[in-house]
Amino acid sequence: MDLHYTQATETPHERAAVDAVLGPADSTWSTGDRRAETESHSAHAGHAARSQRDRLLPALHAVARRIGWISEGALNYISRRLTIPPAEAYGVASFYALFAFEPRPKTVVHVCEDLACKAVGSDALIAELERTAGPGEPQCGGASMWLRSPCLGLCERAPAGLLTVAGDEPHDEPLEFVTALRVAAALEGKRDFGFAPTQPPQHGDPSLRLLRRVGTVDPASLDAYRAAGGFRALRRAFDIGALGVLREMTASKLMGRGGAAFPTGRKWEAVAREPERPHFIVCNADESEPGTFKDRIIMESDPFALIEAMTIAALAATCDFGYIYIRGEYPLATRRIEHALEAARAHGMLGDDIMGRGLRFDIELRRGAGAYICGEETSLFNSLEGYRGEPRNKPPFPVQKGLFRKPTIVNNVETLINVPDIVLHGGDAYAAIGVADSTGTKLFCVCGNVAKPGVYEVAFGATLRELIELAGGVAAGHRVQAVLLGGAAGAFATPDELDAPLTFAGMRAIKATLGSGVIMVFDETVDLEAMLVRIAAFFRDESCGQCVPCRVGTVRQQELLARLAARRLHGSPDEERSLLAEIGQVMRDASICGLGQTASSAVESALAKLNLFSSAVPVDERTPV
Amino acid sequence: MSVSDPGFARQVTLQIDERSIDVPEGSTILEACRALAVDTPTLCYLENLTPVNACRVCVVELEGSRTLVPACSRKVEGGMKIKTDSERVRTSRKMVLEFLGSSVDVSLVSDFSRQMQRYGSNPKRYGDAAKPALAGTRDGAVAGHHHASDGQTASTVAQPVKIDNELYVRDYSKCILCYKCVEACGTDAQNTFAIAVAGRGFDARISTEFAVELPDSACVYCGNCIGVCPTGALMFSSEYEMRDAGTWDENKQVSADTICSYCGVGCTLTVHAQDNKIVKVTSPADQDVTHGHLCIKGRFGWQFVQQRDPSVLDGLANGPVVLDDVEVPAPA
């Protein structure tokens, strides 16, 4: 391709950062200078370079982590190395919230402004930061800065933050129980605030299955994992073979835990049957649904289980390669998974001859860069391939044309860690747990106004009330006002609905969803209207912008909720409500992907079930203030 | 009835609004709708580009599908039952038109006001338009960090026109983000890749790298983006200036097809003239050679045809070229 670049060139620092990911340029063609005597008649970029397009996001990360932002020269260098038109590379890079394109301080503290943190008072924290530490807007300069962030997935330790320090030795660190003092200390250069995974609230409960190793077994030691029964399921998978694994998976009736509840066994079988090669397995670890943090805890505390499960899937569906796509805001989980992958390779649990049984399979970890939409499976593929994280139309489905347009299994982290027990103890034994339409155990992210927020594991069939009680209930003297189920894309339950069983069918009955397993409890002190305004703002921020219903609909919904909350309407309350309903309908019916299709569901359920915005009046009928 | 079938493709039978139709396998629902003369609005669809189905104005209701499906890209399957005028379809089309009508300047989009009327769209429901963005503001928008609106005015994409070269202007106040220009600049026609979609959500925009001006970008001024733009966001400078001066009048325009004389490819040019002056050049989308696409010469290289000002030629006479024997046509 004959590509055109602007005059801007990279600094040696930027070049070093990119070369650390892509390796040194093997041809001067790809770096801009050309040795006429040796390279005047041959090009060494071309297809070989273009086929590395999926390295774009890692290369952008490398520059952002080293320099703090991405300059025109750095982008040109990356584009040259990968033979990507710079306009396209810019289009991809500017899609992500974690990348900046004008000089940004090396130290940035991201402070969560989302639902679970709001429920425990982050509004006051943010107001204080605005007074003491600057506006929290992307444009401000200085040696360090803070920024508002959507949910950081640390909801059990809210208010949450994330410290990122760019440099030759970049440093990323989650911040728990954030205070203005803590932010100030981080901005002044303090490091190592001592974040460490803690034991789950149910620690020691012998009925735990998915969480039994969390907080108990050293996540950095493959031997410890093995001693705790790890890799026995993989051994059995080798013994019963691919068909045996598929049989057990189907018998287990395991349903995907990412939100769509698709039968996992059927997905695997569909990929196994596809004649086209290669096959891929992708672990969707882009956990970004506000209020969700279960996958993070598993990756931080039980990373080898994920590797074992993906290897079993690879065996069953003859997958040639695997990817774990983890959200960019999970530094500790990223390090733990990276370490586990290295250890697994060193012990022959990944590579050319796994366990000496002739299976060839490996896994690569890829980081997102701040985009909720990339948790949508086809957006995830585009993001991983180095394109904008925009969803694709389905059909074709990922089992036919997924990553790199090849047959692909894509499973959520929680779905996958069910796999070893299914293979080890049999699908029928698994299906006996829980209830008929919802088998097995489920992880719930209980957060908001409860005494012991955290990830809880219960067999399907427990009620919402039981879960809230398990988490210690709301504080004494307070009562439940509402519960948000399934996150921003979920729906509200009222205090009257707390006896609904937490099953796929039980949730449908109260017009709610399990979604990603969020149970966000709000007591009567919480301003639910402000929560809805935030949900609407969240979707406005996170819409990819590809289709009109979602791109404009999320904006119109946010504007309308702002009017309702301020009690300054354009028309009568009925007119505004029916407009809101129509905005919701077109997003649900005509958006390309699940983000747009669910962007109105929490708002609509709140308006249907909770008595909100009751005294809103048109702007002309307001009492003058 | 059936769609004319150029090859030997298998026929697929489906139902549209309870009418049965046979179309060749591989056709889209839109093609089937058009064969039945079902009036189906489209914005981001164009015969000579890959469908991106981003605008969603062509959605139809497919029995068994949870959501509506885009007619322009969804391939037909035997036994499909499709409704094109159900309540859900009408609401979605109304809202898509209303969303665009309230956030984008759609004054030059052909058929837009008729379709809005047909579906009962009322863009005024969202309030008065917010103030236009200052130059460069939308180009610098950061993904995931919008300034929350108070909802009293309706957010729009309004912004100043970008004029950075002599051949065409970019008025992104009129951009509905149909992706057509990106496709035409990329693998669907030109393979130049000067522009892409940048940013995210409502701040998504067509942009060069770092929003540099076109002369600094990879743009080769083929004008194929103008050719496919459905909204007038991309416009010949000649047309833009005449519109600005109030002299643009399509009723006074005539057009004629000719073959481009610059090289041997043989591109058909449709020359549009007003008051005996060329005002723009296009190419028919169904033309075998061009598929509607041209290069800079065919698209823009026509100024010489109407260079009737003798003083220009007099000026040339001071140079090395002797023009004594040239017959200069009298000014019109």
Domain ranges of chain B: 1-126, 158-301, 304-332
Task: Give domain B1-126's CATH number out of 3.30.590.10, 3.10.20.740, 3.40.50.1820, 1.20.120.1760.
Answer: 3.10.20.740
User: Per-residue pLDDT for B319 more than 60?
Assistant: no
B149 pLDDT tier (thresholds 50, 70, 90)? confident
The CATH architecture that domain B158-301 belongs to is 2-Layer Sandwich (3.30)
pLDDT of residue A407: 98
**Mean pLDDT of all residues in A186-206:** 92
pLDDT of residue A197: 84
**Mean pLDDT of all residues in B81-92:** 98
Task: For A556-568, write each residue's pLDDT tens digit.
Answer: 999 999 999 999 9
User: Per-residue pLDDT for B144 more than 60?
Assistant: yes
Residues of B in contact with A551 (CB under 8 A): 99, 177, 201-202, 204
- With a pLDDT cut of 70, the percent of chain B lying above it is 90
Higher-confidence residue of A136 and B120: namely B120
Question: What b/e readout covers B48-62, taking b as 16+ CB neighbours within 10 angstroms?
Answer: bbebbbbbbbbbbbb
Distance CA B287, CA B268 (A): 7
User: Per-residue pLDDT for A1 more than 70?
Assistant: no
Asked if residue A406 lies in contact with residue A279, where contact means CB atoms within 8 angstroms, the answer is: yes
Residues of B in contact with A591 (CB under 8 A): 56, 67
- With a pLDDT cut of 70, the percent of chain A lying above it is 94
State whether B67 and A101 contact (CB < 8 Å): no
Distance CA A441, CA A556 (A): 39
> Of the candidates A354, A392, A353, which has an alpha carbon nearest to the alpha carbon of residue A373?
A392
Q: Predicted ipTM? A: 0.93
Residues of A in contact with B216 (CB under 8 A): 6
**Mean pLDDT of all residues in A387-406:** 96
Task: For A364-381, write each residue's pLDDT tens digit.
Answer: 999 999 999 999 999 999
pLDDT of residue A622: 47
Distance CA A91, CA A398 (A): 24
Q: Does B16 touch chain A (CB under 8 A)?
A: no
Q: What domains, with CATH codes, occur in chain A?
A: 12-93 (no CATH), 107-187 (3.40.30.10), 222-431 (3.40.50.11540), 441-521 (3.10.20.600), 528-621 (1.20.1440.230)
B5 pLDDT tier (thresholds 50, 70, 90)? low
State whether A549 and B70 contact (CB < 8 Å): no
User: Per-residue pLDDT for A534 more than 90?
Assistant: yes
Residues of B in contact with A546 (CB under 8 A): 54, 204
Task: For A272-304, write each residue's pLDDT tens digit.
Answer: 999 999 999 999 999 999 999 999 999 999 999
State whether B145 and A147 contact (CB < 8 Å): yes
pLDDT of residue A3: 86
Q: Please identify among residues 252-311 of chain B the ones whose CB lies closer than 8 Å to any CB of chain A.
A: none
Higher-confidence residue of B54 and A28: namely B54
pLDDT of residue A109: 97
Tell me which residue in A551, A563, A568 faces B201 most closely, judged by beta carbons: A551
B146 pLDDT tier (thresholds 50, 70, 90)? confident
pLDDT of residue B332: 46
pLDDT of residue A621: 52
Tell me which residue in A90, A544, A560 faces B151 most closely, judged by beta carbons: A560
Task: For A316-363, write each residue's pLDDT tens digit.
Answer: 999 999 999 999 999 999 999 999 999 999 999 999 999 999 999 999
Asked if residue A79 lies in contact with residue A86, where contact means CB atoms within 8 angstroms, the answer is: yes
Residues of A in contact with B206 (CB under 8 A): none
Distance CA B157, CA B89 (A): 26
CA distances from A545 to A386, A591, A595, A596, B171 (A): 18, 10, 11, 10, 19
From B104, which residue of chain A is nearest by alpha-carbon distance?
A552
pLDDT of residue A118: 96
> Of the candidates B66, B50, B68, B48, which has an alpha carbon nearest to the alpha carbon of residue B58?
B68
Task: For B156-171, write each residue's pLDDT tens digit.
Answer: 999 999 999 999 999 9
Q: Tell me what the pLDDT averaged over chain A comes to.
A: 93
Task: For A429-443, write each residue's pLDDT tens digit.
Answer: 999 999 988 999 999
Phi–psi pair at A214, nearest 5 degrees: -65, 120
> Of the candidates A324, A318, A320, which has an alpha carbon nearest to the alpha carbon of residue A298?
A324
User: Per-residue pLDDT for A403 more than 90?
Assistant: yes
Q: Does B146 touch chain A (CB under 8 A)?
A: yes
pLDDT of residue A436: 86
**Mean pLDDT of all residues in A78-92:** 95
State whether B200 and A545 contact (CB < 8 Å): yes
From A370, which residue of chain B is nearest by alpha-carbon distance?
B144
Residues of A in contact with B146 (CB under 8 A): 537, 540-541
CA distances from A204 to A43, A199, A200, B157 (A): 62, 9, 9, 56
Residues of A in contact with B201 (CB under 8 A): 540-545, 551, 554-555
Asked if residue B289 lies in contact with residue B266, where contact means CB atoms within 8 angstroms, the answer is: yes
**Mean pLDDT of all residues in A200-218:** 95
User: Per-residue pLDDT for A545 more than 60?
Assistant: yes
Q: Please identify among residues 211-230 of chain B the ones whose CB lies closer than 8 Å to any CB of chain A.
A: 212, 216-218
**Mean pLDDT of all residues in A223-251:** 98
- Measured in whole angstroms, the distance separating CA A212 from the mean position of its chain's CA atoms is 23
Distance CA B206, CA B211 (A): 9
Q: Tell me what the pLDDT averaged over chain B comes to.
A: 91
